[in-house]
Amino acid sequence: MVNRGNTKFYEAKGMYADSTVFDIFSYRMLLGDPETALTKPNSMVVTVSFAEKYFGTENPMGQSLTIDNQEEYVVTGLLEDIPQNSHFTFSFLISMVSDKSGLSDNWARYQFYTYLLIVENATPEVVDTKFPAILAIRIGEENAAAVKPFLQPLTEIHLRSHLFREMETNADIAYIYAYAAIALFIILLACINFMNLATAAATRRTKEVGVRKVAGAGRRALALQYLGEALLMSFMSLGVAIVLIEIFMPAFNGITGKNLSANLTDGSFLLPALLILTVIVGIISGSYPALVLSRLSPIRAIKGESGGAGGSSLRRALVTFQFAVTITLMIATAVVFSQRRYISAKSLGFDKHHLIVVPLRSNLLKSNHEAIKIELLRNPNISKVSASANMPGGSDYGVPIVADGLPPGETFAIRHLIADQNFIDTFGMEIVDGRELSTDYPDDERGSYLINEEAARQLGWDQPVGKSISIPAFKREQGTVVGVVKDFHFRSVHTPISPVIMYVQPSNWLTRISIKVLAGNIPELLASIEKIWTTFDPSQPFTYSFFDEEYDGLYNREKKGQQILGYFTAIAIFIAALGLFGLVTFAAETRTKEIGIRKALGASVSSIVSLLSGEFVKLVLIANLFAWPAAWWAINRWLENFAYRIEPGLGTFVMAGLLALAIAVITVSTQALKAATANPVEALRYE
Amino acid sequence: MIKTSGLKKLYVTEEVETTALNNINIEIDAGEFVAIMGPSGCGKSTLLNVLGMLDNPTDGEYYFLDHEVSSYTESQRANLRKNNLGFVFQSFNLIDELTVYENVELPLLYQKVAPAARKEKVMAAMDQMSMTHRKNHFPQQLSGGQQQRVAVARAVVARPKVILADEPTGNLDSANGDEVMGLLADLNKDGTTIIMVTHAPQYAEYSNRVIHLLDGRVVSEKMSGAGRA
Ligand SMILES: Nc1ncnc2c1ncn2[C@@H]1O[C@H](COP(=O)(O)OP(=O)(O)O)[C@@H](O)[C@H]1O
Ligand SMILES: [Mg+2]
């Protein structure tokens, strides 16, 4: 919490930084000297929007602010706001020398992110080889052997790094490739529509071509004419697209929670790339019609003959391709959504519902947590409460433990869940062996542990209860395992369940109280919880969160990605259906005479409809042959991301195929029906 | 076999209302060869289309084999059509994408004739029209006379009771025209009822009765050619 007099806010984005931070990062300092701004203790550098919040229009330089009601800091520099797409963002920096924890000089703790600027022709790999020697001097050979520092390029982190505790939530390059691929396919589908309809309509232009040829137009001139028409169309579409982007970008950002902008005038690659894409699209869609039409012989063209069967067989191949893409996307979407359902239905090993989490922000609150718990439990709508340092879905302490049965000197990597004796009960977890921690056993405060089944399995313990464990990093000597917790998902279901150890730590470790509430009037309940909090520490603004929302946050990015996939699929289906609609309309039109003759000879409406639709239906069926293997490959690649995943059955594939078929049949038969029910006389009258 | 009473056909377009047929009362017996004549636009094709059940009359009654068909649905008419009627058009109306053989076979497909019987009937009809040697050709590869012979083969292949021909010789030179008329006359001799629209008096001579139309009305019915004898 930062305050200046009565102006106080919680600031989540403050960081300690070395005085050299401005040598490495290119922040623009508006006021103050980058060389000296962060050299003295209790100095801070703030961003423009942060300064406005506390100082309004006053000059922030030399002003002071209080952090967490303890230390005062003097503003020594003003930075431009950090762009949203920066590697990391912050609203203020505090000089590293102000840190009193001593952690900044402790080489065995990894509390800080370290960035190096390597010299022009050094390679990161070479720098990496120097680390072990340095570490050995700082923390001793033995400890140094356990860590393997390495460098990664800053520009690679956002898209490619998936380490534990990244500076910011990173994106995944795989998603970007996937979107790009889907976007490409959608453009292709649209190109195909253009090619198909252009060649189909071209058969109507054959007379024009014939006349032009007779009048002396060469093949080249004609081909260029058609190509030019396609390019013109493509550029007009670009104009429309730019307008559409302007219109839909805010909605898209709303869905994705991103802050994308399509700025064409800032000189980035976007404008040239779009222009090139437009030209390519124009050429792809225009080249085939140009080729077919310019090749027609003038005599046949004048007689109104079309390009012949060759043209329509390519058209068939293209329609098949379109539907193969559409079906693939449908299968992928179906699998993605059923995986999502599977995950959310999967038992987590704890009950995430009806839990309100309230942070313990001050030492006053932490030391009074027992009294707060007692007060809370007085409320009949509150059934259980537990204070803890962390919880499932959040961070934990990455320190190894020493355990029975490990070779001397070796440690065991495990996740730590530090909580009071009520946690198991409050989160509805299950004890499968031994007992839970309890205030009835005074020893549980310092010397008892719970582990999960996975920990017991990995440690090779058949009888975990009674085994001893110590955690040297936290100065916890020999303690005993008193119980085993049924496995639960400490992290997202992407990762397999990892070993977890649970134990009690002194109250200054605690960060929050989780409150299990009975269904009821939530606002009223929150008001009474707030009252308890403010009686214990009136200096702290009251905040809370719902545990299930927070935990589900682990999947937010995925969920958005899947939503986008859903929209993409819908667009693809729409485009493919549109193309089909155009083709069948055209087919019905060119075959009016044939339909009339057949009807005069006694053909029924249904036989005409199936005559017109049958061909397209066949193509959709063939499309499945291509779509199924492609989808199979893609979804298996994607499912590999999950430690717990569905096995997509044949049913999904069949369903997607049937859906595509239904869409095709509905599209085609509306037009076919119109043609079939038309009066045959009309068709036969004209010549 | 065919009887109309007070038959009327109105075409209503945005600009005008055309009375193409007005109070037509005719009767045609089985085995007759009837020619319909009259100036262009007097309603000949319209009458033939109504008689052929390709189109519904606006008003009046039409009895075909004692069925009152003017109120029939499209599928009921299609059923009567495929079992009793054959058509020959001025512009042949063959399907370009199908071979001669397939064109002739078409009516049998819609009658769901078994494949073996179908083949036999198609070959017989083509033989009768001397088109067997062209069975794998496409219509575009044939002369006008040949195309019309294929059309006649298609009209007769299902052995219809009635053949309706709308200016069957209109697009043919006189040699080919004579030949097609000869074919129709032969069919009539074998018992098929023929109703034909024509402009040419010499071809009207093949019929035994001529119905003259003017502005959608019957102005005269005369015995002719074979009928007078
Ligand atoms: N579908 C139609 N819509 C409007 N008017 C039509 C239609 N068919 C025919 N007619 C009109 O009906 C009249 C008779 O046409 P038709 O029977 O084709 O004459 P014809 O004796 O030359 O065969 C003509 O005036 C024609 O313009
Ligand atoms: Mg006519």
User: B93, A598: Cβ pair inside 8 Å?
Assistant: no
Q: What is the pTM of this model?
A: 0.68
B81 contact residues in A (CB cutoff 8 A): 600-602
Ligand nearest to the CA of B166: 2
Report the alpha-carbon distance of residue B181 to residue B178 in Å, rounded: 5
Chain A to chain B Cβ contacts (< 8 Å): 54
Instruction: For residue A594, give the chain B residue with the closest CA.
Output: B95
Considering CB atoms only, which of B55, B87, B97 is closest to A679?
Answer: B55
Q: Which of A131-140, A319-328, B28-37 has the highest mean pLDDT?
A: B28-37
Q: Residue A28 contacts by C-beta under 8 Å, 6 or more apart in sequence?
A: A79, A80
Which of residues A513, A539, A565 is at a domain's end?
A: A539
* A425 is a domain residue: yes
Beta bridge partners of A386: A514
pLDDT confidence band for B26 (50 / 70 / 90): very high
Beta-carbon count within 10 A of B57 CB: 24
Distance in Å, CA A349 to ligand 2 centroid: 84
Report the alpha-carbon distance of residue A477 to residue B21 in Å, rounded: 112
Which of residues A116, A151, A186 is at a domain's end?
A: A151
**A686 touches B at CB < 8 Å:** no
Report the alpha-carbon distance of residue A603 to residue B54 in Å, rounded: 12
pLDDT at B121 over 50: yes
What is the reported pLDDT for A453? 94
* A338 is a domain residue: no
Which domain, by its residues, includes A99?
A: 2-151
Per the CB < 8 A criterion, the answer to whether A354 and A518 are in contact is yes
From the CB of B212, is ligand 1 less than 6 Å away?
no
B95 contact residues in A (CB cutoff 8 A): 594, 597-598
pLDDT confidence band for B226 (50 / 70 / 90): low
The minimum CA-CA distance between B5 and chain A, rounded to whole Å, is 22
Considering CB atoms only, which of A594, A601, A684 is closest to B107?
Answer: A601
Which of residues A539, A563, A581 is at a domain's end?
A: A539
User: B54, A684: Cβ pair inside 8 Å?
Assistant: yes
What is the reported pLDDT for A388? 94
Average pLDDT, chain A: 84
User: A594, B97: Cβ pair inside 8 Å?
Assistant: yes
- Alpha-carbon dihedral angle through residues A638, A641, A643, A646, given to the nearest 10 degrees: -20
pLDDT at A243 over 60: yes
From the CB of B43, is ligand 1 less than 6 Å away?
yes
Does the ipTM exceed 0.90? no
> What is the mean predicted confidence (pLDDT) over B153-180?
90
Give the residue from B21, B17, B55 showing the smallest Cα distance to B38.
B21
Report the alpha-carbon distance of residue A359 to residue A513 in Å, rounded: 6
Distance in Å, CA A684 to ligand 1 centroid: 12
What is the reported pLDDT for A317? 87
Q: Which of A80-84, A134-138, A236-240 has the highest mean pLDDT?
A: A236-240
B95, B96, B152, B166, best to mutate vs chain A, most A CBs in 10 Å: B95
Considering CB atoms only, which of A594, A602, A687 is closest to B110?
Answer: A602
What is the reported pLDDT for A346? 78
User: Minimum mean pLDDT among A167-181, A271-285, A515-529: which range?
Assistant: A167-181
pLDDT in tens, A501-549: 999 999 899 999 999 998 778 888 999 999 999 999 888 788 899 998 8
Q: Residue A138 contacts by C-beta under 8 Å, 6 or more apart in sequence?
A: A107, A108, A144
Per the CB < 8 A criterion, the answer to whether A384 and A516 are in contact is yes
Q: Residue A577 contacts by C-beta under 8 Å, 6 or more apart in sequence?
A: A663, A664, A667
**A526 touches B at CB < 8 Å:** no
* A375 is a domain residue: yes
pLDDT at A310 over 60: no
> What is the mean predicted confidence (pLDDT) over A44-55?
88
* A18 is a domain residue: yes
> What is the mean predicted confidence (pLDDT) over A435-464?
91
A607 contact residues in B (CB cutoff 8 A): 110
Using a CB cutoff of 8 Å and minimum separation of 24, what contacts does A184-191 make? Answer: A185/A325, A185/A329, A185/A572, A186/A568, A186/A571, A186/A572, A186/A575, A187/A277, A187/A281, A188/A321, A188/A325, A189/A322, A189/A325, A189/A326, A189/A572, A189/A575, A189/A576, A189/A579, A190/A281, A190/A575, A191/A281, A191/A284, A191/A285
Instruction: For residue A686, give the chain B residue with the closest CA.
Output: B91
* A591 is a domain residue: no
Report the alpha-carbon distance of residue A231 to residue A239 in Å, rounded: 13
User: Minimum mean pLDDT among A146-155, A319-328, A481-490, A610-619: which range?
Assistant: A146-155
Residues in chain B whose beta carbon is closer than 8 A to a beta carbon of chain A?
Answer: 45, 49, 52, 54-55, 74-75, 78-79, 81-83, 87, 89, 91, 93-97, 106-107, 110-111, 154
* A535 is a domain residue: yes
What type of residue sits at position A478? Answer: Q
> What is the mean predicted confidence (pLDDT) over A326-355?
87
Report the alpha-carbon distance of residue A111 to residue A104 in Å, rounded: 8
pLDDT confidence band for B80 (50 / 70 / 90): confident
* A382 is a domain residue: yes
Distance in Å, CA B43 to ligand 1 centroid: 6
> Ligand 1 test: best mutation among B11, B12, B213, most atoms within 8 Å of CB?
B11
The minimum CA-CA distance between A578 and chain B, rounded to whole Å, is 27
Give the residue with greater pLDDT, B175 vs A684. B175
What is the reported pLDDT for A100? 77
3-state secondary structure of B211: strand
Tell me the two tokens of residue A391.
């919880």
Residue A419 DSSP code: B
What is the reported pLDDT for A224? 85
The minimum CA-CA distance between B47 and chain A, rounded to whole Å, is 12
The total domain count for chain A is: 2
Instruction: For residue B156, give the chain A residue with the closest CA.
Output: A601
From the CB of B129, is ligand 1 less than 6 Å away?
no
Report the alpha-carbon distance of residue A427 to residue A385 in Å, rounded: 9
What type of residue sits at position B228? Answer: R
Distance in Å, CA B47 to ligand 1 centroid: 10
Report the alpha-carbon distance of residue A633 to residue A639 in Å, rounded: 10
User: Minimum mean pLDDT among A19-33, A197-211, B53-67, B199-213: which range?
Assistant: A197-211
* A63 is a domain residue: yes
> Ligand 1 test: best mutation among B16, B40, B42, most atoms within 8 Å of CB?
B42
Give the residue with greater pLDDT, B72 vs A686. B72
A677 contact residues in B (CB cutoff 8 A): 74
Distance in Å, CA B9 to ligand 1 centroid: 10
From the CB of B216, is ligand 1 less than 6 Å away?
no
User: A597, B95: Cβ pair inside 8 Å?
Assistant: yes
pLDDT confidence band for A447 (50 / 70 / 90): confident
Report the alpha-carbon distance of residue A413 to residue A154 in Å, rounded: 28
Going by their DSSP bridges, the two strands A415-418 and A500-503 should be labelled as parallel
pLDDT in tens, A188-233: 888 888 888 877 776 666 767 777 777 777 778 878 888 888 899 8
pLDDT at A427 over 90: yes
Distance in Å, CA B169 to ligand 2 centroid: 12
